[in-house]
Amino acid sequence: MSALSPRDRMIVPLDVPTVDDAYAIIDDLGDSVSFYKIGYQLGYAGGFDLARDLIADDKDVFMDLKLLDIDNTIEKGVISIRDMGAKFLTIHAYPKAMRAAVQGRGDTNLNLLGVTVLTSMDDADLAEAGYLISAKDLVAKRAANARAAGMDGIVCSAQEAGAMRAIVGPDMSIVTPGIRPEGTDIGDQKRVMTPSKAIAAGADYLVVGRPILQADNRSDMARRITDDIAKALEK
């Protein structure tokens, strides 16, 4: 991971309803951002074509689709995303689903990320859903399953990044959403951390959405966060 620049480590989610809205953000950010995430909202509104355009423009694209289905469907879906040229794709960290995804990825540059526990969820949310395990323990279990399945990385809270590094080892990527610079609103996230602390904790990539998208000057905020990442990497 040492070859990654601070800018390469910051991922901006295009969580907007239309492709036009997404292009407005991309234009605002200019060369301050090189890596974008496309999820359900934009994906179902033309985001797949936008992803292809970004890839053609030498941007990295993270398809945050959180796939979970029968093995054959997962494998074929991954093949489609693989052929698109995306860099990252998320799979819910269920062992069978991850093994099918690895089969679909084959020997390509697509990086498969196992989603452990969503950062909007805490122990009470898991209990309500019927899990008899804490968020911390479930993240650890799913991280171990991701490594065993041959995944390329995991998605977890930055609060868990250090402990998960010991489980997944040095070669798997740790991607952390729920990143909030000092003084910004945490919104609906429950397990959050600042950019510099997340890097220090062991995260490789940071997903930073609302602090950038809602900023008065998006490119300035993006550069502030990149600078924060750079300072953390120097320590």
119 is in an annotated binding site: yes
What backbone phi and psi angles, to 5 degrees, belong to 159? -65, -25
Is residue 189 within 8 A of residue 119, CB to CB? The reply is yes
**DSSP string for 159-179:** GGHHHHHHHH-SSSEEEE--B
- Look at 120 and 156; give whichever has higher pLDDT: 156
CATH number for the domain formed by residue range(s) 7-156+164-172: 3.20.20.70
Give the tokens for residue 192: 């959050």
Strand, helix or coil for residue 116: coil
Report the percent of the chain where pLDDT is more than 70: 94
Instruction: Decide if pLDDT at 187 tops 90.
Output: no
Indicate the domain borders of the chain: 7-156+164-172
Confidence of residue 96 (pLDDT cuts 50, 70, 90): very high
Q: How far apart are CA 235 and CA 223, in angstroms?
A: 19
> Which amino acids are annotated catalytic?
64, 66, 69
pLDDT at 1: 47
122 marked as binding residue:
no
Q: What is the pLDDT of residues 16-72, one digit of tens each?
A: 999 999 999 999 999 999 999 999 999 999 999 999 999 999 999 999 999 999 999
pLDDT of 224: 92
Write down the pLDDT at residue 42.
Answer: 97
User: Which residues, other chains included, contact 103 with Cβ-Cβ below 8 Å and sequence gap of 6+?
Assistant: 75, 78
| DSSP letter assigned to residue 193 | B
CA 86 from centre of chain: 13
Known binding residue 225? Answer is: no
Residue 8 one-letter amino acid: D
Alpha helices in the chain (DSSP H): 19-29, 40-42, 48-56, 71-84, 95-105, 123-128, 135-149, 161-168, 195-201, 210-213, 218-234
Determine if residue 111 is labeled as part of a ligand binding site.
no
